[in-house]
Amino acid sequence: MSRDTALVSADWAEKNLDTPGIVFVEVDEDTSAYDGGHIPGAVKIDWKTDLQDPVRRDFVNQEQFSALLSAKGISNDDTVILYGGNNNWFAAYAFWYFKLYGHESVKLIDGGRKKWELDARVYTKDVPARAATSYEAKAPDLSIRAFRDEVVEAIGVKNLVDVRSPDEFAGRLLAPAHLPQEQSQRAGHIPTAISVPWSKAANEDGTFKSDADLAKIYGDAGLDGSKDTIAYCRIGERSSHTWFVLKELLGQENVKNYDGSWTEYGSLIGVPIALGDEPGKA
């Protein structure tokens, strides 16, 4: 795994809009962004209605993922190029799904929609017509997905990386600051987690920092390269961004995303919680 296999530039994307075998996919939570204009030829995936189970709190299973990609006209041997808003949070989340379900070739556009917008590159409102395929997702690769019991057992043992903002980590805010703060779960963080906000990994225009800068950021924050790592945030999409950095850009082994994240952990009965700016004790 490296920058070359996992990331493309906006320039590269623009030059390959019509290349056969490449499918551009915009992933957003608020899909009105796509509807108002998107990269020419890109199909849309709605983070909520396409990627989450409509009833249970879980994401789509193997069959649902196969059906989704078949309907979108994506084949197992296509190279999928993902991008989206929110500094690629949801595109990174989708990237993690594609990996979880064993898609061979998937990459992110560095900087996502934001870089595209700031570069004043062209958008279209035309929705492409792609013939349906028979996509077959593989069995989920659970080596990249963490569940709650594993997270509790990781306290004081593995690297836990909290990628929310410092105020959410400390317990001063319960949600990202563009959302109302009334929430059901308790405030704080998982004891022994280090605080490395996802934004540390990105430049202001949404592109990722250099590998050397990234390695220094996580090293300085206390990430122990000899241990397994679990990243979490509030609902698992910002931590997908950090999972992408650690696993795909820096090539670390054994990095998992805890998609239950704080909305699950902060609602569990009896688990330890740390308050304040320090990681806290196990």
Partner 1 sequence: MTIPTAAANIAAGCAAPDQSAPLPASVDLQKETVITGRVSTAEGEAVGGAYVRLLDSSGEFTAEVVTSPEGVFRFFAAPGSWTLRALSRFGNGELAVTADRGINDVALSVATA
- When binding is defined by CB under 8 A, the residue of 142, 157, 177, 282 that contacts partner 1 is 177
Asked if residue 251 binds partner 1 (CB under 8 A), the reply is no
Q: Is the dihedral of CA 72, 37, 87, 247 positive or negative?
A: positive
Q: Which is nearer to partner 1, 89 or 135 (CB)?
A: 89
**Greatest C-alpha distance within the chain:** 55
Residues touching partner 1: how many (CB under 8 A)?
40
Instruction: Give the C-alpha separation, 231 to 194, whole Å.
Output: 10
DSSP strand E in the chain: where?
A: 7-8, 22-28, 43-46, 79-83, 106-109, 159-162, 194-195, 229-232, 255-257
Q: What is the smallest separation between the CB atom of 76 and partner 1, expressed in angstroms?
A: 29
Instruction: Give the C-alpha separation, 241 to 237, whole Å.
Output: 7
Is 66 catalytic? The answer is: no
- When binding is defined by CB under 8 A, the residue of 24, 25, 29, 230 that contacts partner 1 is 29
Asked if residue 107 binds partner 1 (CB under 8 A), the reply is no
Residue 118 has a CB neighbour count (10 Å cut-off) of: 13
- x/- track of binding to partner 1 for residues 74-103 (CB under 8 A): -----------xxx-xx-------------
Instruction: Give the C-alpha separation, 213 to 64, whole Å.
Output: 38
Which 134-173 positions form the footprint of partner 1 (CB under 8 A)? Answer: 165-167, 172-173
Instruction: Give the C-alpha separation, 222 to 48, whole Å.
Output: 34
Q: What is the smallest separation between the CB atom of 32 and partner 1, expressed in angstroms?
A: 6
Q: Residues in the site for partner 1, rule: CB under 8 A? A: 28-30, 32-33, 36, 47-48, 85-87, 89-90, 114, 117-118, 120, 165-167, 172-173, 175-182, 197, 199, 204-205, 233-235, 237-238, 263
Active site residues: 233
